[in-house]
Amino acid sequence: MTDAFHLTTETLAPEQTADLAMRLGALLGPGDTVLLEGPVGAGKSHFCRALIQSRLAAQGRMEDVPSPSFTLVQTYDAGDVEIWHADLYRLSDPQEIVELGLEDAFSTAICLVEWAGRLGDMAPPEALQVTILPGVAPEARQIVFSGPPCWQERLRTFLVMA
């Protein structure tokens, strides 16, 4: 993936990180993939949970959104689109991506993939990369958005708001 742009922002509290995720979630549609990276405990699952819950709430639904650490994939019906939330930390073989159906979901669903580096060459080339890193304060996070040219235009209003 060739990164055409980078946007770095900082959140000072988990609520701000969740707000950022909700705003991003409002921009996503079928076939969009968000690849999340960052160390253990950085907030990847928190980000995904906020994004998924905001999309479900828009459909008038509340649902628990657990981390898919052990199941590898959780799916959610968000009305007009299915959301796939994958955590590839425990992936033992890249072939499991095909077995899970994740490769097919990349073209039809909103896919949120934690530990996305484990996708290797199976990562969709048009995906948005989100890297979450610990900030200087205990609850602060540095969040880096990067991706191909198509994302820069799509995120134009999002970038202004960040």
Residue 48's nearest CA partner among 32, 66, 31 is 66
Q: What is the pLDDT of residues 16-69, one digit of tens each?
A: 999 999 999 999 999 999 999 999 989 999 999 999 999 999 888 888 787 777
* Domains contained in the chain, CATH given: 14-121 (3.40.50.300)
Residue 17's nearest CA partner among 159, 139, 149 is 139
The pTM is what?
0.91
What is the arrangement of strands in the sheet containing 5-11, beginning at the earlier edge strand? 5-11, 141-147, 128-134, 33-37, 110-114, 82-87, 73-77
List the beta strands (DSSP E) in 32-153: 33-37, 73-77, 82-87, 110-114, 128-134, 141-147
Reported as a pLDDT band with limits 50, 70 and 90, residue 1 is very low
pLDDT at residue 146 above 70? yes
Q: What is the pLDDT of residues 92-114, one digit of tens each?
A: 777 788 888 888 999 999 999 99
- Residues 58-65: contacts with CB within 8 Å, 24+ apart? 58/26
